[in-house]
Structure 1
Amino acid sequence: MVFEPVHNPRVLILGGYGNFGKRVATLLLKDPNLEVILAGRDITKAQQEVARLQQQIPHANITPLQLDWRAFDFKEKLKIAAPHLLIHSAGPFQAQDYSVVYACIDLKIHYIDLSDAREFVTGIITLDELAKQQDVVVLSGASSVPGLSSVIIDSYATKYTELREIDFGIAPGNKAERGSATIEAILSYTGKPFMRLENGRWKKVYGWQNLHRHYYGDNIGLRLHGNLDIPDLDLLPDRYPMLKTVTFHAGLEVPLLHWIMWHMSWLTRAKIVKDWSAFVKPINKLSHWFDNWGTDCGGMFIHLSGSNHDYQPLDIYWTLVADKGHGPYLPVIPSVIMAHKILDNLVPAGARPCLGLFTLAEFDEQIKDWDIYYTVQEVVS
């Protein structure tokens, strides 16, 4: 069977004027043959972002659309817009259901989201048969995790005869642009319990606890880190059955802010504050008091540990630096790569997490225009 790419492809970005959505649009509009629909609840914000992008990219084929995924007429409006692909960036996904996904499948619209919500991403497989029946591609987690993290791990896992430990994390620059949805997602699991694999056993840990420092190299230096709950904590042990430990951490650049988050986590553990995400608006407003602190330089690291094919201990340290405020492009790159693959008919129908679905070379091609680079160190003991 010969698969033909979609002609005159049309992509709808839900949450299109948000922190990640507008970056997805910027990258997609590099293709002059692509039509982009920038959708969101606030039509004025959508129109303003469309005007900005048209000024930045003269050939941009982009239109605004008022579209609220929670509204009763969402599916009807989506049918009228008739995109070939919907990219869902209207987070946070921690409390969302699959209503957008069901609508896309029913209308035979391909679907990608940027979710990093553990249950949302891992549960997408329950829609696999339905997506296959409608010949639709559904991908969840096409972001830094698990979309990018899985590609990096897959690229270096071949060096191991036994991969036993994975420790990885992210540390954004304080001056890098951030969205309220990201803050709300972080607050939703601050101090909340979750399970992760440690030393071969599943252990309960708490969001933003296990306070420690990680060294990202001279450009970034030391950053405070704490526990974060992500889909990879379930997906990676299934993907690599020999794993004994999988841990993920994240940190805020300004130590005072990180210490505040750590203290907030204890208030939740003490059952004084049930859910910090209920206070996202005042907390977001207060966070901007510190906008002039820190830098616009962020990073990501992955540490793999196990035995190589000569049965010697092998540690691989992958460290990425995102400078000049380009860090927020990192979470959107996987969705852009996969959008092109889907529109080129290179992805089989079905619903699945975005795990190892592109190559490190494809990622390298995307970051060449940004101040984003990484180093790799291999240590054989």
Structure 2
Amino acid sequence: MTQTVLILGGTGRIGSRVAEDLLTYTQAALTLSGRTARTQFQLKQQYPQRVRLIALDLAHLTALRSAIAAHDLVIHCAGPFSYRDERVLQACIDLGKAYIDVADNPPYVKKALSLRSQAQAAGVTAILSTGVFPGISNSLVRQGIEQLDQAEAVKLSYVVVGSGGAGITVMRTTFLELQHPFLAWIAGQWQTIAPYSQRETVAFPAPYGDCNVYWFRTVEAMTLPQSFPVQTVVTKFGSLPNFYNYLTWLMAHAVPKNWLRQPQTVELLAKASYQMTQVSDRLSGTGIAMRADIDGQKHGKSAHYCSTLVHADTAIAAGYGTGSVAQLMLAGELHQPGVWPIEQALTTDLFEQTLRQRGVTIERSLS
């Protein structure tokens, strides 16, 4: 029988990229949900036999559970995850359905991880944060740590061009993450960091070159110290064109926090930013560059490992990250009951295999 996949938020920018990946690399039939059923959705027109569209409000638990029960795998792309609770994951566990998400909010992920024993007892595999960052970034770190005898410090640097090909939800998430200081694992202890602080210039591969990056709260910063015995995890993010960095810094440091924390303010800023990127994207593109630097020991000597990855479209790369995990789960190659951050569930061999299949190259060096 044909396997079936429900993609919550499947008509959004990230969800539709995940759907495209699954349509390319699997034979699964897809149900894409949104707040409304989009009758003119392009993927439905391209794949009329494999794509179905439904309107689904995640607040309506009965309808949600009914939709989950009718599918083999659920992929949760309906962010921002700072607005979500664990109801989708809990329903999947209750109904015995495999689960994947693209969660980028640490408090949400922490709550989801607390359901691990329930998922194990139910025989349900649930993989969290499977997009590009978090997602591919976590696997880059695992890949690097496995090249060393001992890893001590991890530094992840990202730069996204314009909107990154993503939708307004990603803009909302950015402004939500600027509202509060966060904890980072530094020198073996959790320390408080101001968002979008401590600017640093990092060298990325062509065509990006030297770019400014700033501290940014990410899921990786929370899960990597739990997954690997490292003393420091740094996660920094920047934008191109560079004037977006100045605007973001102003939002983080120069406006009253009470104003920034108003939902209507977040919505106003997200919409304004999205409109700006719709103009600049035509000139700058929507790519991403990622760099993982890992310091540690190899053969009794200090060693430094560096890996880089670039892609011309951030949203497509996110689709690769999530789609590859779904592909492996549907094929029976990734079955690990419980709730896991991606770096604890996806082996490096499978990570490299699926990225090669998608034509993605990782440049690596060890010195």
Provide TM-score, normalisation by structure 1: 0.87
Secondary structure of residue in 2 paired with 1:251: strand
Matched with 1:195 is 183
Secondary structure of residue in 1 paired with 2:123: coil
Could you tell me how far apart the structure 1 residues matched to 2:37 and 2:338 are? 32
1:159 aligns with 2:134: no
Secondary structure of residue in 2 paired with 1:160: coil
The aligned amino acid for 2:302 is: P
Q: Against the structure 1 CA distance between its residues 130 and 367, is the aligned structure 2 distance closer, same or farther, given a 3 Å change threshold?
A: closer
Matched with 1:320 is 309
Of residues 36, 40, 54 in structure 2, which corresponds to 1:48?
A: 40
Of residues 94, 102, 108 in structure 2, which corresponds to 1:106?
A: 94
Q: Against the structure 1 CA distance between its residues 314 and 37, is the aligned structure 2 distance closer, same or farther, given a 3 Å change threshold?
A: same
The aligned amino acid for 1:284 is: A
Q: Which residues of 2 match residues 331-342 of structure 1 at below 5 A? A: 331-342=318-329
1:297 aligns with 2:279: no
- Tell me, yes or no, if the aligned pair for 2:86 and 2:111 is still in contact at 8 Å: no
1:9 aligns with 2:3: yes
Of residues 183, 193, 196 in structure 2, which corresponds to 1:205?
A: 193
The aligned amino acid for 1:320 is: L
Q: Against the structure 1 CA distance between its residues 32 and 299, is the aligned structure 2 distance closer, same or farther, given a 3 Å change threshold?
A: closer
Quote how far apart the aligned CAs of 1:119 are: 1.9
Quote how far apart the aligned CAs of 1:276 are: 6.4
The aligned amino acid for 2:200 is: H
Quote how far apart the aligned CAs of 1:104 are: 1.7
5+ long unaligned stretches in structure 2? none
1:306 aligns with 2:279: no
Q: Against the structure 1 CA distance between its residues 376 and 25, is the aligned structure 2 distance closer, same or farther, given a 3 Å change threshold?
A: same
- Tell me, yes or no, if the aligned pair for 1:190 and 1:264 is still in contact at 8 Å: yes
Could you tell me how far apart the structure 1 residues matched to 2:195 and 2:319 are? 24
Q: Against the structure 1 CA distance between its residues 32 and 171, is the aligned structure 2 distance closer, same or farther, given a 3 Å change threshold?
A: closer
Deviation digits for residues 226-253 of structure 1 (CA, Å, limit 9, x no counterpart): 1111222222222222x22110011111
Quote how far apart the aligned CAs of 1:359 are: 4.1
Q: Against the structure 1 CA distance between its residues 95 and 284, is the aligned structure 2 distance closer, same or farther, given a 3 Å change threshold?
A: closer
- Tell me, yes or no, if the aligned pair for 1:180 and 1:280 is still in contact at 8 Å: no
- Tell me, yes or no, if the aligned pair for 1:198 and 1:244 is still in contact at 8 Å: yes
Could you tell me how far apart the structure 1 residues matched to 2:318 and 2:25 are? 20
Of all paired residues, the percent bearing the same amino acid is 22
Could you tell me how far apart the structure 1 residues matched to 2:25 and 2:307 are? 31
Q: Against the structure 1 CA distance between its residues 137 and 297, is the aligned structure 2 distance closer, same or farther, given a 3 Å change threshold?
A: closer
Quote how far apart the aligned CAs of 1:147 are: 3.1
Of residues 107, 110, 115 in structure 2, which corresponds to 1:119?
A: 107
Paired residue total: 362
Quote how far apart the aligned CAs of 1:159 are: 2.9
Could you tell me how far apart the structure 2 residues matched to 1:331 and 1:104 are? 23
Matched with 1:279 is 265
Structure ranking higher in helix proportion:
2
Of residues 245, 252, 265 in structure 1, which corresponds to 2:232?
A: 245
The aligned amino acid for 1:142 is: T
1:29 aligns with 2:23: yes
The aligned amino acid for 2:219 is: P
1:69 aligns with 2:58: yes
Secondary structure of residue in 2 paired with 1:20: helix
Could you tell me how far apart the structure 1 residues matched to 2:191 and 2:212 are? 22
5+ long unaligned stretches in structure 1? 1-6
Quote how far apart the aligned CAs of 1:361 are: 4.9
- Tell me, yes or no, if the aligned pair for 2:106 and 2:218 is still in contact at 8 Å: yes
Could you tell me how far apart the structure 1 residues matched to 2:66 and 2:47 are? 27
Quote how far apart the aligned CAs of 1:216 are: 0.5
Could you tell me how far apart the structure 2 residues matched to 1:196 and 1:254 are? 27
Deviation digits for residues 307-366 of structure 1 (CA, Å, limit 9, x no counterpart): 212x2221111111112xx32122232322222232233403222222243344544454
